[in-house]
Amino acid sequence: MRPPVLVLLVMAWTWTRFNYGFSSVAQPRHWAWQWWESLGSPKWVCSPMIDQSERAFRLLCRRYGVHLAYTPMLHAEPFAVDEGYRKTYFDAWTPVDGENGKDDRPLIAQLGGDDPKTMLQAAHHLEPYVDGIDVNFGCPTEDARKGGHQTHSPRCRRYGAYLLRDTARVTRIVGTLASGLRKVPVTAKIRLLPQRRASIDLALAIEESGAAALCVHGRTLAQRPKYAEKHGVESLAPDWDAIAEIARVLKIPVIANGGIESRTDAQRCLSQTGCAAVMSAEALLEKPDLFVEDEEPAIPRMLRLSREFLDLAERHPSPLKYPPTKSHLFKILRRLIGVDQAQARRKAAAGEPLTEREKLKLALMCCPVSDFHAIRNALDHMEEKAADHLLGTSWYRRWRPEEKGGDGSFPTCRSISREGHTQLGLQFPS
């Protein structure tokens, strides 16, 4: 005989109260939200990008709506022991409470590495100068797999998404930083695992280890657009639904990342995922004003942003031996002059006729990176001679052949095949 519905409801209510308590008072919010609010409850975020999210670029993005920015990733092992590396690769040596650094706040420094003690040692050098320490569990590059870094030091370790296979190591790193940092909290940036349940379990483990926030990139390691053709794996759409599920389960702020190409994308992602914030990376490199509404014509906007960045780069020079100044300009100007520098150089060397775009490109290429006057002249000349139409492919979509989505848009499927992961040497959980 089946029990009456009322009895079943009473049993369910009793079980719920037994497991979750009898108090009708709402559970207190996680302490991480107080820290998040101390940062101003940021909504739009500039991603950490190796040698690309330097101070001048961060300041440009902050002018156009970015509320929170990250430093370029710093390799923990050389940063922990090498003062020269610290001076070269970290560009925010102004204490958090110092007046001169307030234009670049809030700021989170990202570390890459695989040894908890070394990560903590490196983080202690950064604590007085930033608002948080982030651990890179998201980078999918070959350097992350091999453990290489800018100066090819043997002290560098594997980092990024390749550590996600080792949950124990991930939680040890986060836990060591959470318990050892004295002034700021630890956060983490991950990619999705092939199975959603595994992604949720990993996120919960990171939260339990003491992270104050988690950024989730909505693609797996095998979904790297750059290597899609090489490995026969499609560049698939970021899975915002998976990010939304993680955000619902976690008690700490979650930042959504992946597929953010415009302000409309950012707003849609925020709505669909319910996350605290949205992060953009490569699209910001071409459109530093991505997070603001702007109806200015494209070519004047590109040239204006290029000049603004150049002014900031001159005012806040990069400590790198090879500053990324022109690299940024080529990305901002990509649809105006293109980026195939090698072809333009070969044609010029062979004495072949050059297109107007190639002439403009070569003029910028020939400018010494430290000669700001010459670069400004090249931009002025570009303004006079620029074509009245733009190239079709943006920097963000450079690895996405048109045939994959008709107009270059993302495919709609949301999973990745077992074969695709196997081709990349990745374990596909059962």
Q: How far apart are alpha carbons 91 and 150 in whole angstroms?
A: 15
Q: How far apart are alpha carbons 230 and 26 in whole angstroms?
A: 52
The tens digit of pLDDT for each residue in 286-304 reads 999 999 988 888 899 999 9
Share of the chain above pLDDT 90, in %: 59
Tell me which of 277 and 2 has the higher pLDDT. 277
The tens digit of pLDDT for each residue in 39-57 reads 999 999 999 998 899 999 9
Q: How far apart are alpha carbons 396 and 400 in whole angstroms?
A: 9
**70 Cβ neighbours under 8 A, 6+ residues apart:** 45, 46, 47, 48, 53, 107, 108, 109, 110, 134
Please indicate whether residue 367 is annotated as part of the active site: no
Domain boundaries of the chain, sorted by first residue: 32-286, 298-385
Mean pLDDT of the chain: 83
Q: How far apart are alpha carbons 416 and 194 in whole angstroms?
A: 7
Q: Is 425 a residue whose pLDDT tops 70?
A: no
Tell me which of 21 and 120 has the higher pLDDT. 120
| Locus of tokens 């007085």 | 128
**301 Cβ neighbours under 8 A, 6+ residues apart:** 289, 294
Tell me which of 117 and 422 has the higher pLDDT. 117
pLDDT for residue 342: 76
pTM of the model: 0.83
Q: How confident is the model at residue 11 (pLDDT cuts 50, 70, 90)?
A: low
Number of alpha helices (DSSP H) and beta strands (DSSP E) in the chain: 20, 9
pLDDT for residue 104: 95
- CA distances (Å), 220 to each of 67, 100, 282, 283, 366, in order? 27, 39, 17, 19, 39
Q: How confident is the model at residue 166 (pLDDT cuts 50, 70, 90)?
A: very high
pLDDT for residue 73: 94
Pick the CATH number of 32-286 from 3.40.30.10, 1.20.120.160, 3.40.50.920, 3.20.20.70: 3.20.20.70
pLDDT for residue 349: 81
Cis peptide before 185 (omega within 30 of 0): no
Q: Is 211 a residue whose pLDDT tops 80?
A: yes
**361 Cβ neighbours under 8 A, 6+ residues apart:** 337, 338, 341, 344
Catalytic: which of 61, 139, 156, 275?
A: 139
Of the ranges 91-95, 261-265, 401-405, which one carries the lowest mean pLDDT score?
Answer: 401-405
Mean pLDDT of 378-403: 74
Q: What ranges make up the beta strands (E) of 225-274?
A: 254-257
Summarize the chain as % helix, strand, coil (round to 5). Answer: 50, 10, 45
Q: Are 326 and 369 in contact (CB under 8 A)?
A: yes
- Token pair for residue 274? 């319910």
Q: How confident is the model at residue 406 (pLDDT cuts 50, 70, 90)?
A: very low
Highest mean pLDDT among 71-85, 148-162, 333-347, 413-427: 71-85
The tens digit of pLDDT for each residue in 232-290 reads 445 568 999 999 999 999 999 999 999 999 999 999 999 999 999 999 999 999 999 99
pLDDT for residue 400: 61
